[in-house]
Amino acid sequence: MSGPGTAVVITCSTRAATGIYPDRSGPIIVEALRGWGLVVGDVVVVPDGPDVEVALRAAISTGAGLVITTGGTGLTPTDGTPEATARVLDRLVPGIAEAIRSAGVRAGIPSAMLSRGVSGKAGSTRVCYPPGSNGATGRRAHERGHGIAQHPHEAQGRPDGGGATAR
């Protein structure tokens, strides 16, 4: 799978990866992306820690237009998704993370402001995160995720992308 119409979803959760409980947020995201016409494989579930960066780099190397991570953005010692994401990004796009946190707070979820998630571009791949909680993922996927999924030309640096450039 490669190109602007493709996506990879990565759930970052030790408990889901070890079978303590099923991944619920990843499948919600996959369903939303497929509903918007993107080609998406099964969710990749990895434990918190070094496997997150490995999974991100593998997803980016496929040439997918969009990589979405869910989970691992909180304040516990094992929540390392933001650091792993930052290491693979070429350019930060802080407005995405700001919008996600702001929408959560406006929806009555004050803990949304504690999310440390980051978003940006790695080459021509957009990398972003929605909240990891099931309810929040489902609600907010439809509120703003479609906007992220709709703009593949921005990441590809085409002339119709408002002057975006790719390397």
Residue 135 lies in a domain: yes
Helix orientation angle between 50-61 and 81-88, rounded to the nearest 10 degrees: 40
Domain that holds residue 8: 3-150
pLDDT beyond 60 at 147: no
pLDDT of residue 45 exceeding 90, the answer is yes
Residue 108 located in a structural domain: yes
The pTM assigned to this predicted structure is 0.83
* Counted domains in the chain: 1
Answer for the pair 71, 11: CB distance below 8 angstroms, yes or no. yes
Contacts of 115 (CB under 8 A, 6+ apart): 73, 74, 97, 100, 101, 104, 131
**Residue 87 predicted with pLDDT over 90:** yes
Domain annotation covers residue 155: no
Q: Is 165 a member of any domain?
A: no
Asked whether residue 33 carries a pLDDT value surpassing 90, the answer given is yes
Tell me which of 146 and 130 has the higher pLDDT: 130
Residue found by looking up tokens 């907010």 in the block: 140
Question: Is residue 66 domain-resident?
Answer: yes
Q: Is the pLDDT at 42 greater than 70, yes or no?
A: yes
What is the C-alpha to C-alpha distance for residues 128 and 136, in angstroms, rounded to an integer? 15
Q: Is residue 141's pLDDT more than 70?
A: no
Name the pLDDT band for 69 (thresholds 50, 70, 90): very high
The pLDDT value given to residue 105: 92
SS3 at position 41: coil
Residue 159 lies in a domain: no
* 163 falls within a domain: no
The CATH number covering residue 114 comes to 3.40.980.10
Residue 37 lies in a domain: yes
Q: Which residues contact 62 (CB under 8 A, 6 or more apart)?
A: 1, 2, 6, 8
